[in-house]
């Protein structure tokens, strides 16, 4: 462990500086966690935007230069790019360094990155459960991880001191930290994140396709509930495509359960079974209360979102 005045890491390399990568840079600066923050992006446009914001000490269009001498390297691009990235950086990873990521799936990350990790590098996959519907380097902010959970899925036999160091790192960026098995992570996230996103994308798509209701009507009357789903359905398309392609089994399993339950509700509506509806609607209220009590959502009605003024 480092002393109070010395940063936890000498050089942190962020491979990807979108919403999550740039938020990590801001959070690291807030907590003084890295002597040097290096950022890599594929496109010149992203690098220029990041340079204007100034959250990194160095910016690179070359992964080798970005990761060289880093004691923490974080893959922070869509998970579909991890295999290629891991292969490209492998020769340049420093012995004793930590290689981590922030991908929303974990079994696939172990599968895609694991084989490329050199001897002597500590590979500890991670997933901060935080985000907004925005993307890109401008979307990041230091508080994104405050009070949220970060899940680590270290392979069996991973060096305990390295795990502890990464845990300290996330804690000091504001997160609470849990450790679990990648397969369990993937089913937990299928229900708490992936399937909710899928059905949000789906209902917004359905609304867009209906012939009997115009797009203008959908927009005007969206405050009836629909608008809530459009926030999630505005999330980054590439990131989410990769999530579904890489958590297929768990997503399909949870989706199967969702469909069974929906069929029961559909039947209750068709046959006028008010008690079945009432009982479910009562049970779900308690879960909202628990989430607010756990500090994972705002207690203010309507998420406390701005009350618009009349024209």
* Interacting residues with a copy of itself between 87 and 106 (CB under 8 A): 104
**Nearest partner of 67 among 48, 91, 103, judged by Cα:** 91
Site string for a copy of itself, 69-88 (x = CB under 8 A): -----------x--------
Does residue 10 belong to the site contacting a copy of itself (CB under 8 A)? no
Residue of the chain from 54, 91, 114, 237 that contacts a copy of itself (CB under 8 A)? 237
Q: Does 23 bind a copy of itself (CB under 8 A)?
A: no
Pick the piece of the chain touching a copy of itself (CB under 8 A) from 10-18, 46-54, 152-160, 171-179. 171-179
Which of the stretches 35-43, 45-53, 154-162, 199-207 binds a copy of itself when contact is defined by CB under 8 A? 199-207
State which residue, 57 or 193, has the beta carbon closest to a copy of itself: 193
The span from the CA of 231 to the CA of 234, in Å, is: 5
Q: Which stretch binds a copy of itself (CB under 8 A): 37-45, 86-94, 160-168, 204-212?
A: 204-212
Nearest to 127 by CA among 56, 37, 190, 211: 190
- Tell me which residues in 251-310 interact with a copy of itself (CB under 8 A): 251-252, 254-255, 257-259, 261-262, 265-266, 268-270, 272, 274, 277-278, 280-285, 287-291, 294-298, 300-310
Of the candidate spans 8-16, 61-69, 94-102, 219-227, the one that interacts with a copy of itself by CB under 8 A turns out to be 219-227
Residue 199 sits in the site that holds a copy of itself (CB under 8 A): yes
Could you say whether residue 187 binds a copy of itself (CB under 8 A)?
Answer: yes
Which residues 130-169 are close enough to bind a copy of itself by CB under 8 A? 130-134, 139, 143-144, 146-149, 151
Residue 100's beta-bridge partner residues? 74, 124
């Amino acid at each position: 462990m480092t002393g109070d005045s010395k940063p936890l890491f000498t050089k942190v390399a962020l491979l990807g500086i979108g919403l999550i990568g740039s938020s990590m840079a801001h959070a690291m600066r807030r907590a003084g966690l890295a002597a040097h923050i290096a950022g890599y992006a594929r496109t010149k446009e992203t690098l220029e935007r990041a340079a204007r914001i100034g959250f990194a000490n160095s910016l690179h269009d070359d992964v080798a230069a970005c990761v060289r001498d880093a004691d923490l390297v974080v893959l922070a691009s869509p998970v579909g790019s991890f295999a290629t990235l891991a292969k490209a950086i492998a020769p340049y990873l420093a012995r004793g360094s930590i290689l981590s990521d922030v991908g929303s799936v974990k079994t696939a990350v172990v599968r895609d990155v694991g084989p490329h990790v050199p001897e002597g590098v500590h590979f500890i996959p991670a997933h901060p459960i935080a985000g907004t519907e925005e993307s890109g380097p401008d979307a990041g902010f230091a508080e994104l991880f405050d009070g949220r959970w970060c899940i680590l899925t270290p392979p069996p036999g991973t060096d305990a001191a390295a795990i502890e160091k990464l845990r300290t790192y996330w804690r000091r960026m504001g997160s609470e930290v849990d450790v679990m098995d990648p397969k369990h992570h993937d089913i937990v996230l299928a229900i708490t994140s992936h399937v909710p996103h899928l059905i949000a994308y789906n209902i917004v798509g359905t609304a867009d396709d209906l012939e009997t209701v115009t797009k203008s009507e959908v927009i005007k009357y969206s405050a009836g509930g629909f608008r809530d789903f459009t926030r999630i359905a505005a999330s980054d398309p590439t990131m989410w495509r990769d999530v579904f392609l890489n958590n297929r089994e768990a997503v399909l399993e949870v989706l199967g359960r969702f469909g069974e339950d929906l069929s029961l509700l559909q039947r209750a509506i068709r046959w006028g079974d008010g008690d079945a509806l009432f009982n479910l609607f009562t049970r779900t209220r308690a879960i909202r209360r628990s989430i607010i009590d756990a500090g994972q959502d705002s207690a203010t009605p309507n998420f406390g979102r701005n009350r618009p003024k009349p024209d």
